[in-house]
Amino acid sequence: MSHEIAILGASGYTGAELVRLIATHPSMKIAALSADRKAGMDMGEVFPHLRHLNLPKLQRIEEIDFSQIALAFCALPHATSQAVISKLPRDLKIVDLSADFRLRDPAAYEKWYGKPHAAPELQKEAVYGLTEFYRNEITGARLVAGTGCNSATGLYALRPLVQAGVIDPDEIVIDLKTGVSGAGRALKENLLHAELSEGAYPYAVGGTHRHLGEFDQELSLVAGRQVAVQFTPHLIPANRGIVATVYVRGDAKAIHDALHKAYADEPFIVMLPEGGVPSTRHIRGSNYVHVGVTADRREGRAIVVVALDNLTKGSSGQAIQNANLMLGEEETAGLTMAPIFP
Amino acid sequence: MSHEIAILGASGYTGAELVRLIATHPSMKIAALSADRKAGMDMGEVFPHLRHLNLPKLQRIEEIDFSQIALAFCALPHATSQAVISKLPRDLKIVDLSADFRLRDPAAYEKWYGKPHAAPELQKEAVYGLTEFYRNEITGARLVAGTGCNSATGLYALRPLVQAGVIDPDEIVIDLKTGVSGAGRALKENLLHAELSEGAYPYAVGGTHRHLGEFDQELSLVAGRQVAVQFTPHLIPANRGIVATVYVRGDAKAIHDALHKAYADEPFIVMLPEGGVPSTRHIRGSNYVHVGVTADRREGRAIVVVALDNLTKGSSGQAIQNANLMLGEEETAGLTMAPIFP
Amino acid sequence: MSHEIAILGASGYTGAELVRLIATHPSMKIAALSADRKAGMDMGEVFPHLRHLNLPKLQRIEEIDFSQIALAFCALPHATSQAVISKLPRDLKIVDLSADFRLRDPAAYEKWYGKPHAAPELQKEAVYGLTEFYRNEITGARLVAGTGCNSATGLYALRPLVQAGVIDPDEIVIDLKTGVSGAGRALKENLLHAELSEGAYPYAVGGTHRHLGEFDQELSLVAGRQVAVQFTPHLIPANRGIVATVYVRGDAKAIHDALHKAYADEPFIVMLPEGGVPSTRHIRGSNYVHVGVTADRREGRAIVVVALDNLTKGSSGQAIQNANLMLGEEETAGLTMAPIFP
Amino acid sequence: MSHEIAILGASGYTGAELVRLIATHPSMKIAALSADRKAGMDMGEVFPHLRHLNLPKLQRIEEIDFSQIALAFCALPHATSQAVISKLPRDLKIVDLSADFRLRDPAAYEKWYGKPHAAPELQKEAVYGLTEFYRNEITGARLVAGTGCNSATGLYALRPLVQAGVIDPDEIVIDLKTGVSGAGRALKENLLHAELSEGAYPYAVGGTHRHLGEFDQELSLVAGRQVAVQFTPHLIPANRGIVATVYVRGDAKAIHDALHKAYADEPFIVMLPEGGVPSTRHIRGSNYVHVGVTADRREGRAIVVVALDNLTKGSSGQAIQNANLMLGEEETAGLTMAPIFP
């Protein structure tokens, strides 16, 4: 059986990635696509790589008939999402890819996003979308909040370790490198090819990146006390892929064991043998996550490296994985394509 | 039903691409992988992006039991292929991805490859693997020769036009730009990142590229007389993708019509509206081909632009498309994944 | 002696390139920098790579005192330039880098730029800035029009050949590949890294690019009759560099001889031996031009390949070369830095 | 007056970079170039970007007459360098760019390079070439050891801080990102464009990179006790540039002050205002170093970011800076070209 799917905000990269993945999904069918400013256009005009597909035209959200829609993906900008979702049918299943429902605590939301949440009751309802850790809740959820792509990468390294108590939660440094598509299709000078190609640099240095709100929330939860990591993202001249190099205190063997145990049955998390080093080139375009652990030359210290594709497992692939659960489908449906290399 | 498949020469890019595509193919199963110098290794060591797959270990060709193999893909180097295939079981279906069986004329082979063919009887048997033009022959073939990736790109622009007589066959210029993966995983100085990134340049200038043998063969065949195009490939700093800009003499409308008619029922060839311009970013990682036609400001001249992914439609995807036909499967099986963008 | 220099429109790439080059110029000193929307800012904020230099703050043009300025470079947008220059002191030497004064014929200007020229008397006065062909005129000029970067590249291949009569002026195809900085620092979707990286595609297909106006003007001039080339530019994923592959009819030897003769005493034009092939990697960041000629396999046809850096020899380096002449300095002053590779 | 210069090992990237820089140096002249396997070739064949220069042919080292040579740059592979330098005239000034003379302690050399040093007396004589910290010693030295490019980057962040005692020397994490040219022109699979482009990954994880020997040596020296940093280099898809993100414990203001004081009179070190963030795009092709300091959200922690060009300030530019001192020239001679951007 095929579920009718709507994608709200289909003219951005995560929207296009949803279409790419659903195009060969065995039990999802795209019934509606929205893009306010591009309403009336063909998706193939906005994203010519999708022009071979037979897709509905882009519409305004108000024009969509949700009566037959089984699930909607919201790939709208932050802040817009909470306003739009508030007005959608109350029984519509929703996977939101924005930042609007990631933080459960209204105060934390206000701290990181600079204004009070406009839909606090929805915020309370939303389940944090890191499938591996919230599988049961997601399966029964109506509203799932897709995670930050950086947060997902770091949390795959850290959440099981903090939970297992094998690392010191006060001594965590996450140095993360991300390709440019995570910043979306926005017209910003620093995203121009001529500005970025051949360059690399940190941004949001000093602990100002909004994804820190998710690190704080999830790690404090499993630690049972407040955890505040250090986190520096870097922009690198690549389109896709995030690699996080995470410096922790603890025994490398115990760390590897804890991660291995946590991910033993996970279909998309690939543990490398000890000393193995992930790379963004090895997960590009796929829903797979590579995780490696190496002991440092200084005793009691280790480095955990995690790589994933920000648009797939970090965003749209994760969203579909969650939607599969919400719709009662096989969790891996439509998501087992191998990475593309070179 | 699943066909058992062998891939000979699995440690190169076309071999890896075959594995990537077959990994989600509904009716093929990889039963054997060969790589002489890397025999004994796991495919995941040679290509870590494939480490999540449960694949047979790399073997030497002699070690493979072909009795259960329905079809073998040969992704071996040129010249090696003809030697290896000569020794394979006579009833084994084979899709060869090398240059060894592309030219039907032994003299042409010797001219372009510098020595006589070692298996002239096989050369005679082989069918040229451009599916859209040899579909019937391929369906019944035992040995199919995968085309050059540059030749495929140019022939998608030209073969129907020469056949329809809507362009002057003596006035054809093919200016082609290719990403670097077409050159394979060979350790050559000009393929180093530091040598290629930020650069662009023509090579094999003046009509010396071996793929000209295929242009001559196929275009002369449909013209009914000798045709000799001008052809200059360029190396550009991208991993995948070929775009050919083809300058022809003829009426743009008639040219668009001829191509539109030729490709009307083709599942993988996407004709753009007149004036539409293909780009390699719109077909990356997929089996789709984009074709566009634009009239030049000078009357009676037009430009045909074709883009495809050299590793997919230009090589391994084409090979699987042909294998599907040879095995009696749906031609598009396993090949309808959308392009990856960005 | 040091000449005081003003740069109008210093916040774009050609402005920054002028500053980079003048920073080590032996007899130029930057006395004023303008950028309307960024007036009041430090150049180091707009272009951090220049932060080590001691530069005047960005001003509005009206604030500049031109009394001590020996020469002004105008790196303003097209159309703006003609308005601004009309109001500058009549005795101020000016090198304009925009398209505003490249075409001598008012009708041609209107045809390619879509509206009448606002300063036709200045248009008449301006000298076309291709130094090698207008050296004498430039030396005595007050207003020099920098050429299009694509036009410069193609004209280095063609102008001496048409003039010498060694090629057929009716059968010229210029297939050109350019890096992205030629499009400037404008916020356009197609210039985003995620849109361009890993891609390559033609644009302005069919003879619609404005630089064709310059080809028509210059080649018709030396031919003594109308010449209309075919020209297709391509955008490639690189920051700098243009390579033009020019298909011509004529004897390769005669063509090489004609170019060799034309450029024998040129300080910046490097003729390669016959069959030599230029590459953008070999001229990056420099004022040098590489020129190669190869015979095609078809008799009477040849390919001329030219590579230059669009921001240097194609724009700001050319501008300084012309300014050197206008100021009575050594033509090569400040311009002999070697290309940067890798 | 012009000093005659020899470059031994001119066929690698650091050799080519030396030629690029000396080409416009006011008081150096290249008198001899060596490259054993390419002896007899023109430099323009090996590096076409240098073909406009009038350079001596490549020779074997034995063929060079050192009698008129004022200084030799050795850009030879590690281990080769110590053997070659042992046989050069004892009064020849030498700047070695290899790793052979960076470590003063023979035991440390053996530990990091796996075998005893072959010229221990030369090792004793050599001065560590980080100009800013060894200026006096370098001025009077005969043999100067160019530093590792990674070491230089990290030491610019750390050496003044450890010396001033404003950070905890036991809690230092250096997460460094480097372009690919640092790995040289070697034919290695991981350096191919198709392997590296679009990817990013750490290597030598866990404290195994040889440049750690330099960190240990220099930081222990100024600390007056053993210091062992954590250090992870990453390969990113860019040709040039290193950016190090250094996590330290200490007061950000005190750290900024200490660095500001240390570099106040340095011609090539540019301190950014507090919170300023360096990028490799802003120093490419130049001898400048950008240094920034930002406080972390966690009190008592700060991030120091340093960017430099590995081939220039990290290697060949540094070498020329040192050679200028050794030859009694202005320290900045030939090195003040601005970075190239974009």
Facing residue for B205 by CB, picked from C234, C241, C294? C294
CA–CA separation, B335 vs A23, rounded Å?
A: 12
Q: Which residues contact C46 (CB under 8 A, 6 or more apart)?
A: C10, C11, C16, C35, C38, C58
The set of chains that have 3 or more CB pairs under 8 A with C is: A, B, D
Residues of chain D with pLDDT under 50: none
Facing residue for D185 by CB, picked from B181, B189, B238? B189
**Do residue D282 and residue C49 have CB atoms under 8 angstroms apart?**
yes
pLDDT at A162: 98
Q: Which two tokens stand for residue C125?
A: 């006065």
Burial C319-332 (b: 16+ CB within 10 A, else e): bbbbbbbbbebebe
In tens, the pLDDT along C139-170 reads 999 999 999 999 999 999 999 999 999 999 99
Asked whether the CA dihedral C21, C77, C217, C176 is positive or negative, the reply is positive
Facing residue for A23 by CB, picked from B198, B283, B338? B338
pLDDT at A1: 72
Q: Give B-chain residues touching C297 at CB under 8 angstroms.
A: 206-208, 212, 228, 230
pLDDT at B183: 94
Q: Which residues contact B54 (CB under 8 A, 6 or more apart)?
A: none
CA–CA separation, B207 vs C233, rounded Å?
A: 22
Domain boundaries, chain D: 3-147+313-326, 149-310
* Helix H or strand E encompassing A315: none
- Could you give the percent of chain B with pLDDT greater than 90? 99
Asked whether the CA dihedral C69, C70, C76, C79 is positive or negative, the reply is positive
- Is the Cβ of A19 closer than 8 Å to some Cβ of chain B? yes
In tens, the pLDDT along B121-164 reads 999 999 999 999 999 999 999 999 999 999 999 999 999 999 99
For C301, the closest chain B residue by CA position comes to B206
Facing residue for B192 by CB, picked from D192, D198, D238? D192
pLDDT at C96: 98
CA–CA separation, D207 vs A252, rounded Å?
A: 13
Is the pLDDT assigned to residue A195 strictly greater than 80?
yes
Q: Which two tokens stand for residue C319?
A: 């501008």
Is the pLDDT assigned to residue C106 strictly greater than 90?
yes
Average pLDDT for chain A: 97
Q: Which residues contact D231 (CB under 8 A, 6 or more apart)?
A: D150, D154, D173, D174, D176, D207, D209, D211, D212, D215
Give the CA distances from residue A293 to residues A131, A228, B52, in Å, rounded to whole numbers and listed in that order: 22, 22, 17
Distance from CA of C192 to the nearest CA of A (A): 4
pLDDT at C1: 72
Is residue C310 within 8 Å of residue C318, measured between CB atoms?
Answer: no
In tens, the pLDDT along B292-308 reads 999 999 999 999 999 99
Give the CA distances from residue A229 to residues A128, A203, A218, in Å, rounded to whole numbers and listed in that order: 19, 16, 11
Distance from CA of A102 to the nearest CA of D (A): 21
Catalytic residue chosen out of the listed positions D18, D149, D259, D272: D149
**Do residue B187 and residue D185 have CB atoms under 8 angstroms apart?**
no
**Do residue A187 and residue C188 have CB atoms under 8 angstroms apart?**
yes
- Is the Cβ of C338 closer than 8 Å to some Cβ of chain D? yes
DSSP code of residue B184: T
The set of chains that have 3 or more CB pairs under 8 A with A is: B, C, D
In tens, the pLDDT along A89-140 reads 999 999 999 999 999 999 999 999 999 999 999 999 999 999 999 999 999 9
Its pTM surpasses 0.95: yes
Phi and psi for B134 in degrees, rounded to 5?
-130, 30
Q: Which residues contact A185 (CB under 8 A, 6 or more apart)?
A: A11, A12, A13, C189, C192, C194, C195
Q: Find which of A191, A236, A248, A286 to mutate to test the D interface (most D CBs within 10 Å of its CB).
A: A236
- Is the Cβ of B203 closer than 8 Å to some Cβ of chain C? yes
CA–CA separation, C310 vs C303, rounded Å?
A: 21
The ipTM is: 0.97
Q: Give A-chain residues touching D198 at CB under 8 angstroms.
A: 179, 238-241, 280-281, 284, 342
Name the more confident of B1 and B18: B18
Give me the architecture of the B3-147+313-326 domain, per CATH: 3-Layer(aba) Sandwich (3.40)
Q: Give D-chain residues touching C283 at CB under 8 angstroms.
A: 49
CA–CA separation, C196 vs C183, rounded Å?
A: 12
Q: Which CATH number fits domain A149-310: 3.90.1150.10, 3.30.360.10, 1.10.3720.10, 3.30.70.260?
A: 3.30.360.10
Largest CA distance in chain A: 61
In tens, the pLDDT along A293-331 reads 999 999 999 999 999 999 999 999 999 999 999 999 999
- B149-309 CATH fold: Dihydrodipicolinate Reductase; domain 2 (3.30.360)
* Helix H or strand E encompassing D132: helix D131-139
Q: Which residues contact C35 (CB under 8 A, 6 or more apart)?
A: C9, C10, C11, C15, C41, C46, C58, C59
- Is the Cβ of C123 closer than 8 Å to some Cβ of chain D? no
**Do residue D194 and residue B185 have CB atoms under 8 angstroms apart?**
yes
CA–CA separation, C269 vs C308, rounded Å?
A: 10
Is the pLDDT assigned to residue C178 strictly greater than 80?
yes
Facing residue for C52 by CB, picked from D47, D270, D281? D270
Q: Which two tokens stand for residue A87?
A: 């007005």
**Do residue B197 and residue D239 have CB atoms under 8 angstroms apart?**
yes
Average pLDDT for chain D: 97
Phi-psi region for residue B281, left (φ > 0), alpha (ψ -120 to 50) or beta? alpha
Quickly state the pLDDT bin for B47 (edges 50, 70, 90). Answer: very high
CA–CA separation, B245 vs B307, rounded Å?
A: 9
pLDDT at D1: 72
Average pLDDT for chain B: 97
Q: Which two tokens stand for residue B197?
A: 């990134």
Is the pLDDT assigned to residue A154 strictly greater than 90?
yes
Q: Give D-chain residues touching A342 at CB under 8 angstroms.
A: 194-195, 197-198
In tens, the pLDDT along C10-43 reads 999 999 999 999 999 999 999 999 999 999 999 9
Task: Kindly report whether the peptide bond that precedes residue D278 is cis, defined as omega within 30 degrees of 0.
Answer: no
Q: Give C-chain residues touching B278 at CB under 8 angstroms.
A: 201
Is the pLDDT assigned to residue B1 strictly greater than 90?
no
**For strand B242-249 and strand B301-308, is the pairing parallel, antiparallel, or unpaired?**
antiparallel
pLDDT at A44: 97
In tens, the pLDDT along D85-97 reads 999 999 999 999 9
- Whether D149 sits among the annotated catalytic residues: the reply is yes
**Do residue C195 and residue A194 have CB atoms under 8 angstroms apart?**
no
For B205, the closest chain C residue by CA position comes to C294
For D181, the closest chain B residue by CA position comes to B194
Catalytically active residues of A, by annotation: 149
Question: Distance from CA of residue B42 to its chain's centroid?
Answer: 27
Quickly state the pLDDT bin for B336 (edges 50, 70, 90). Answer: very high
Q: Which residues contact D291 (CB under 8 A, 6 or more apart)?
A: D156, D157, D259, D263, D269, D270, D271, D272, D278, D304, D305, D306
